[in-house]
Amino acid sequence: MTAPDATTFVPCAAVPALAVDEIHVWSLATAPGPPRAIGAAAREVLASLLCAYAGVGVAPVIERGEHGKPYAPALPELDFNLSHAGPHVLLAFARRQPLGIDVERGERRLAVDELAGRFFTANEADALAHLPAAARTAAFLALWTHKEAVLKALGAGLSFGLDRLEFAVDAHGHIAGLRAIAPEAGACADWRLLALAPAPGLLGALAWRGPPRTVRLLAHAC
C-alpha cells in the first residue's frame, strides 16, 4: 500500500510521547558541511531522541546489524532508522515495529535509463522509459527511495536485490503501489509505504511491514 505524499513537517521543540500505534518521522536540517560532520550531527540528534523516547538520561550504545542497520541493544522496544541527503536528515521511530526510511536529492544528474535497466525490474524500467524526459529523474528517485526504505525495514542491504520488489508507476511518474516482492519479505498487502517530501528538492519514503500506524511528521529545532 502506498499513501499520498507527506509534506507538512510540524516544528516541534519538545519530544512528544510515542504511542504504540504511531511512527514519528523527524526532519532535521543540519549545517552544511562534509559528510562526517553531518553524520555526527545526525547521531547527536538520534541519541537525544532515543533518550527522550526511552526515558533514560544516558545515550545508548548504537550497533549495526549484519547489513548495516543501526539498533540500540539496550532499547529493544524502540525501532529506528535514519537517512540523509546532503545536510538534510530524516529519522524515524516506532515501538516494536521495524521500519526503514530513505531520502535523496531530486536535482541529481543520473543516467536513468542505464541505472533502471541495471537495478530495477523490466516493468519499472519500461514505465520510466515511457515518461517525458523531464519527469524521469524524479520518478527514478521515487522508486529508489521506496525500494531502499523496504530493504532497510527488512534489515537487508542492496545485496537483497532492488529487482526483487516491484512498484507500479503511473503515467505521471508517481508510485502507484507495491506490485510484487520476494516471498521471504512477506505479501505486498502487508507493507505500508509513505512518500515523503520534507523540503523542496528532496524525495523520501517510509516503509514498514505490519498494520497501519499513525505517522507524525515533526521538524526538529536544531
Average pLDDT along the chain: 93
Task: Tell me the pLDDT tens digit for each residue of 49-71.
Answer: 999 999 999 999 999 999 899 99
What span, in angstroms and rounded, lies between the C-alpha atoms of 99 and 86?
Answer: 22
Of the CA atoms within 13 Å of residue 187, those in its CB half-sphere come to 3
| The pLDDT of residue 119 is above 70 | yes
Asked if the model's pLDDT at residue 20 lies above 70, the reply is yes
Taking Cα atoms as reference points, which of 191, 167, 169 lies closest to residue 180? 167
CA–CA separation, 187 and 50 (whole Å): 31
What's the pLDDT at 166?
98
pLDDT band at 32 (very low <50, low <70, confident <90, very high): confident
Question: For residue range 82-111, what is the model confidence (pLDDT) as tens digits?
Answer: 999 999 999 999 999 999 999 999 877 888
Q: Does the structure show a pLDDT above 60 at 208?
A: yes
- Joined together, the cell numbers standing for residue 90 give 530524516
Query: Which domains does the chain show, CATH number per domain?
Result: 2-220 (3.90.470.20)
pLDDT of 190 strictly over 50:
yes
Strands 10-12 and 202-209, bridge-based pairing:
unpaired
Lowest mean pLDDT among 13-22, 99-108, 160-169: 99-108
Give mean pLDDT, residues 6-30: 92
pLDDT bracket for residue 6 (50, 70, 90) = low
What pLDDT sits at residue 5? 56
Output the pLDDT for position 110.
85
